[in-house]
Chain A
């Protein structure tokens, strides 16, 4: 059973880095997702263990990761864990998503953003483009500075 109050609609997605149609399904909680076999969209809260979802990744088209407060960084680990496990569907950051967190979220595998408060488009564009080069290997597949140095 989906909860109509849970989850964001495609209209609320302000930035999206995917070519497919935005998934428009009501999301369910992680517990509900494990119990019902037909759920295709799920919402992860900071205290949820993202690895609980690993058996169901094939049927999921949308995973929302909620940031009730921007300072709670658990969602960054959840995102990377899902991508490391091969999840290829939409990974949407929702909640208290602000300009200055965008570039790090992108690096952790988020490819859609539905902030509670719409963000300034110019500020956001600058934020996404902050780093020409990066030090860490993550799931975004970008070549690291150290790899470039030793090509």
Chain B
């Protein structure tokens, strides 16, 4: 994976010093909270319900065991012994003191990590496919392109005060594991036939997003040559910075601009700006991409067993559920579930984080990935090591065999932690996983993506859930709206709301009912989503409200 050179390190060190100075000026009163807020946000420091919250960037979700260990140590040293993995492939600490924040950033900088641009109206951490570099179905590893974008977007002088936050995802497979078209810019690395055989380039989707006005990004350019990738991105951003709405925070995301102008007109403006920018020399030298690529070369894979011993049914179930096909047939990618039955989705203790780091070192060429579904991946595990790995995970309460099942739900921190939330998300997640696990229904349901948000900002991706739950505030009481039919995969779709909302008990009952409708109506091989798409909303509504 990528490792810093002296310049990357210098940038991060400079930022630590700058933030230390800013925090100092705030504490001594030279900065008001209004002036300090955007500065702390650009370093990922929020003020939440109970304390400051620090969000650490994990660029394109990739990290090594040394970095992971440092994250566990910070949880113990500065927080209350745990961290929370987020849907942006990041990690959040919930109990941070402003006085400690600069020291934490310094600890992070020692392991080539930071919290830069994990909040604020700037370009956020670049996300990517959590199986990048390992998946059997990818064209190339998307991470070198993500790294090129990471450097370009870090401390970008023109795009630090955008109308609103800006999220970019990069993938390089037909299968979309990064919710690419629900990003402000989604980039798919593709190959097209050229005169000298296949040529690699980037397809741009712009103007997707969740939040209160969910939209699926339209494609605005079929193919951007790789030596124009940064220039084209810069053109997309400049048009947004100049013309994105600033009169209303809720209409300030690029999706609204693209929607109001129309994709065609937005594209025309981007192309015009792009033509101008081609003369400005903003593209980094082509050698830079070539410098970055070898960091992501395959580790030294060895041939070995292609199958596991399935005599232990618990182990066999975990293998079936939590491993993903690898490009080398003696390896798999193993998913470590952070969704134990009744647990808090995405939370891990400092000790668990260090255990995952150790296992990565032992079994996965020192590499880990964070998934946007709030789980952790060991990307390159030898099939013959799987049993030993599973045994160690299980002992640390990290062996839940539930990837992509209803128990593998996404849940935002909700009203238990978040200052923006209207309702709690985590208790719902806990109760649903307990209920479905106890009844044994999880197994019958197969792939079912449940996503829970505690407010309309949709950090829990409820618009993209096969089943989505949105918590709202109804006259001071928590209330939950149910929606069906969303997908963040390559068949991207937005969920539709079923009807009037429910109480906490009511919505859990409602989830039970819609899964019953599915089990009754499904045809061979159909997932919940497929059945919903075939039979439509009506039978579900009938079961819920009649």
A contact residues vs B (CB 8 Å cutoff): 46, 49, 70-74, 76-77, 80, 84, 98-101, 103-105, 107-108, 120, 123, 126, 130-138, 144-150
Instruction: Say yes or no: A150 contacts B156, CB within 8 Å.
Output: no
Closest CB of chain B to A16's CB: distance in Å? 19
Closest CB of chain B to A123's CB: distance in Å? 7
Residues A135 and B155 in contact in the complex (CB < 8 Å), given A147-B284, A150-B288: yes
Instruction: Say yes or no: B151 contacts A138, CB within 8 Å.
Output: no
Q: Which residues of A contact B276 (CB under 8 A)?
A: 84
Instruction: Say yes or no: B155 contacts A73, CB within 8 Å.
Output: no
Residues A133 and B287 in contact in the complex (CB < 8 Å), given A100-B22, A108-B158: no
Residues A145 and B157 in contact in the complex (CB < 8 Å), given A84-B280, A133-B7: no
Total cross-chain contacts (CB, 8 A): 106
Closest to A71 in B: B161
How distant is the Cα of A148 from the Cα of B6 in the complex, in angstroms?
A: 12
Q: Within the complex, which residue of B30, B161, B283, B291 is in contact with A73, where a contact is CB–CB below 8 Å?
A: B161
Q: Within the complex, which residue of A101, A104, A147, A149 is in contact with B5, where a contact is CB–CB below 8 Å?
A: A149
Closest to A104 in B: B157
Residues A148 and B7 in contact in the complex (CB < 8 Å), given A76-B241, A137-B282: yes
CB of B92 closer than 8 Å to a CB of A: no
Residues A136 and B156 in contact in the complex (CB < 8 Å), given A73-B162, A150-B291: yes
Q: Within the complex, which residue of A72, A73, A84, A123 is in contact with B25, where a contact is CB–CB below 8 Å?
A: A123
Closest CB of chain A to B460's CB: distance in Å? 27
Closest to B289 in A: A146
How distant is the Cα of A36 from the Cα of B156 in the complex, in angstroms?
A: 36
How distant is the Cα of A144 from the Cα of B8 in the complex, in angstroms?
A: 12
> Can you list 5 A-B contacts (CB < 8 A)?
A46-B246, A132-B14, A135-B154, A145-B11, A149-B5
Instruction: Say yes or no: B280 contacts A149, CB within 8 Å.
Output: no
Instruction: Say yes or no: B39 contacts A149, CB within 8 Å.
Output: no
Q: 8 Å CB contacts to A: which residues of B136-187?
A: 151-152, 154-163
Instruction: Say yes or no: B284 contacts A144, CB within 8 Å.
Output: yes
Instruction: Say yes or no: A72 contacts B161, CB within 8 Å.
Output: yes
Q: Within the complex, which residue of B8, B121, B285 is in contact with A150, where a contact is CB–CB below 8 Å?
A: B285
Closest to A147 in B: B285
Instruction: Say yes or no: B242 contacts A74, CB within 8 Å.
Output: yes
Instruction: Say yes or no: B280 contacts A123, CB within 8 Å.
Output: no
Quick one: which of A103, A105, A146 has the most chain B CB within 10 A? A146
4 additional A-B residue pairs with CB within 8 Å, beyond A46-B246, A135-B151: A84-B280, A133-B11, A134-B155, A148-B7
Q: Within the complex, which residue of B5, B14, B246, B281 is in contact with A137, where a contact is CB–CB below 8 Å?
A: B281
Q: Which residues of A contact B81 (CB under 8 A)?
A: none
How distant is the Cα of A148 from the Cα of B246 in the complex, in angstroms?
A: 37
Instruction: Say yes or no: B160 contacts A73, CB within 8 Å.
Output: yes
Closest CB of chain A to B297's CB: distance in Å? 18
Instruction: Say yes or no: A70 contacts B154, CB within 8 Å.
Output: no
How distant is the Cα of A137 from the Cα of B7 in the complex, in angstroms?
A: 15
Closest CB of chain A to B236's CB: distance in Å? 13
Instruction: Say yes or no: B10 contacts A107, CB within 8 Å.
Output: no
Closest to A148 in B: B7
Q: Which residues of B contact A132 (CB under 8 A)?
A: 10, 14
Q: Mark B244-256, 1 if CB is under 8 A from A, else 0.
A: 0010000000000
Residues A138 and B158 in contact in the complex (CB < 8 Å), given A146-B151, A146-B288: yes
Q: Which residues of A contact B160 (CB under 8 A)?
A: 73, 76, 104
How distant is the Cα of A101 from the Cα of B282 in the complex, in angstroms?
A: 21
Closest CB of chain A to B426's CB: distance in Å? 32
Closest CB of chain A to B123's CB: distance in Å? 11
B contact residues vs A (CB 8 Å cutoff): 5, 7-8, 10-11, 14, 18, 21-22, 25, 30, 35, 38-39, 121, 151-152, 154-163, 238, 241-242, 246, 276, 280-285, 287-288, 291
How distant is the Cα of A84 from the Cα of B21 in the complex, in angstroms?
A: 33
Closest CB of chain B to A137's CB: distance in Å? 5
Q: Which residues of B contact A135 (CB under 8 A)?
A: 11, 151-152, 154-156
Closest to B234 in A: A136
Q: Within the complex, which residue of B10, B156, B158, B284 is in contact with A133, where a contact is CB–CB below 8 Å?
A: B10
Q: Which residues of A contact B162 (CB under 8 A)?
A: 73
How distant is the Cα of A130 from the Cα of B322 in the complex, in angstroms?
A: 46
Quick one: which of B7, B151, B283, B291 has the most chain A CB within 10 A? B7
Residues A77 and B242 in contact in the complex (CB < 8 Å), given A120-B30, A123-B30, A133-B7: yes
Q: Which residues of B contact A100 (CB under 8 A)?
A: 22, 35, 39
Instruction: Say yes or no: B5 contacts A76, CB within 8 Å.
Output: no
Closest CB of chain A to B456's CB: distance in Å? 22
How distant is the Cα of A150 from the Cα of B160 in the complex, in angstroms?
A: 27
Closest CB of chain B to A50's CB: distance in Å? 9
Quick one: which of B155, B282, B287 has the most chain A CB within 10 A? B155
Closest CB of chain A to B100's CB: distance in Å? 21
Q: Which residues of A contact B242 (CB under 8 A)?
A: 49, 74, 77
Closest to A106 in B: B157
Q: Within the complex, which residue of A72, A145, A147 is in contact with B246, where a contact is CB–CB below 8 Å?
A: A72
Closest CB of chain A to B278's CB: distance in Å? 12
Q: Which residues of B contact A80 (CB under 8 A)?
A: 158
How distant is the Cα of A130 from the Cα of B17 in the complex, in angstroms?
A: 9
Quick one: which of A73, A84, A130, A133 has the most chain B CB within 10 A? A73
How distant is the Cα of A74 from the Cα of B239 in the complex, in angstroms?
A: 10
Closest CB of chain A to B405's CB: distance in Å? 42
Q: Which residues of B contact A146 (CB under 8 A)?
A: 151, 284-285, 288
Instruction: Say yes or no: A77 contacts B158, CB within 8 Å.
Output: yes
Q: Which residues of B contact A99 (CB under 8 A)?
A: 25
